[in-house]
Structure 1
Amino acid sequence: MLAGAIGDGVFKVVLGAAFAVGSTWLGEVFGVPTWLMVIAGAALLIGGGIEVVYVRRRPMATCLRLMIAYDIGWVVASAVALVVAWQGGTAGGEIGVGYLTAAPLALAALLVGAAATDVQPSATDVRPPAPDTSAA
């Protein structure tokens, strides 16, 4: 599972690099301005990089829940974008690329913020106290 979680972060980094490098061409394909593709690429690079680093520092259950929520959001945003595009709207690209701009940063913030909730309690001595033998 760890390899899959790291692979998810690496995929975001590669996708972010592709968005940043091909921003002019991809902007035309998605029907969005070049600057939005560059910002989406930067967000994916940052989010994916943080995911790769923090996936090893957080419980796998926390990482999986966050990645599942991210992927469900991606499916929903893509479906909405497709419906808008099929109906002749021009905002489909903005919806899809907008999600890919905001969601990786939110995922990264939640992974970093999970540090406060993932703190392990300190070990407590559960042995009963020794009897006091000094008062005889």
Structure 2
Amino acid sequence: MTEQGETVSAAVPEGASGTEPVTGAAGESRWLRWGLLADGLFKILVGAAYLLLLPLVSRELGAPGWLVLVAAVLVLLSGLAEALFALHRDPRRHIRYLIAYDSGWALVTVFCLLLALAGFGGGGLAGSAWLAVQALGSAVLAAVFLAGIHRGTRLTPRSAADSSSRPGR
């Protein structure tokens, strides 16, 4: 409120109610942020499930327990990094990394499933390969999102004074 008792509100274009759906880059960014957050939370749940069901996962995939543990921790950490990134940064520049990870995961899953169905899964080869690729991919994805949190585009733009006061920016 102003000194005269008038209410001040955010600028809304004439004829608009302020409740219209957000379109363009801002709307796209919002949906990407929700998608990244949901994907990150899903990875956290998957990592936690691997940890809780470690003996079962190890037995069913024929993989050593240490590999299930490593994959579980790295999947959980990559989910946490992704969720944190989604909460603090504009996701548009980093979505390609998530697409690459998820596409690679799907291809490796199909490949390992075909290996197992063809009889090459004996001794846990297919399950171990599947977990190893998840662990490696999750480590890379976590590093990308953590680096993005540190150096990426903020949700709210910096002022010119902020950016000029930091060296190297």
**Secondary structure at 2:87 match in 1:** coil
Q: What is the Cα deviation at residue 18 of structure 1?
A: 0.6
TM-score normalised by structure 1 residue count: 0.80
TM-score normalised by structure 2 residue count: 0.66
Distance 1:65 1:122 in 2: 27
Q: Measured at CA, do residues 38 and 80 of structure 1 come closer, stay the same or move farther in structure 2, by a change above 3 Å?
A: same
> Does the 8 Å contact 1:55/1:63 carry over to 2?
no
**Partner residue, 1:41:** 72
Q: What is the Cα deviation at residue 54 of structure 1?
A: 1.3
Q: Does 1:4 align with 2:41?
A: no
Q: Does 1:50 align with 2:87?
A: no
**Secondary structure at 2:88 match in 1:** coil
**Partner residue, 1:93:** 127
Encode CA deviations 1:1-52: one digit per residue, 9 max, x unaligned: 2222101000000100110111101111111111111111111111111111
> Does the 8 Å contact 1:26/1:37 carry over to 2?
yes
Q: CA RMSD in A?
A: 2.0
Distance 1:46 1:95 in 2: 20
Q: What is the Cα deviation at residue 66 of structure 1?
A: 1.5
Distance 1:84 1:93 in 2: 9
Between the two proteins, what is the percent identity of the paired residues?
27
Q: State the one-letter code of the partner of 1:96.
A: W
Gaps of 5+ in 2: 1-30, 162-169
Q: Which of residues 8, 11, 16 is equivalent to 2:47? A: 16
Distance 1:7 1:122 in 2: 30
Encode CA deviations 1:37-92: one digit per residue, 9 max, x unaligned: 11111111111111111123332212321211111010111111012112211311
**Partner residue, 2:10:** none
**Partner residue, 1:74:** 105
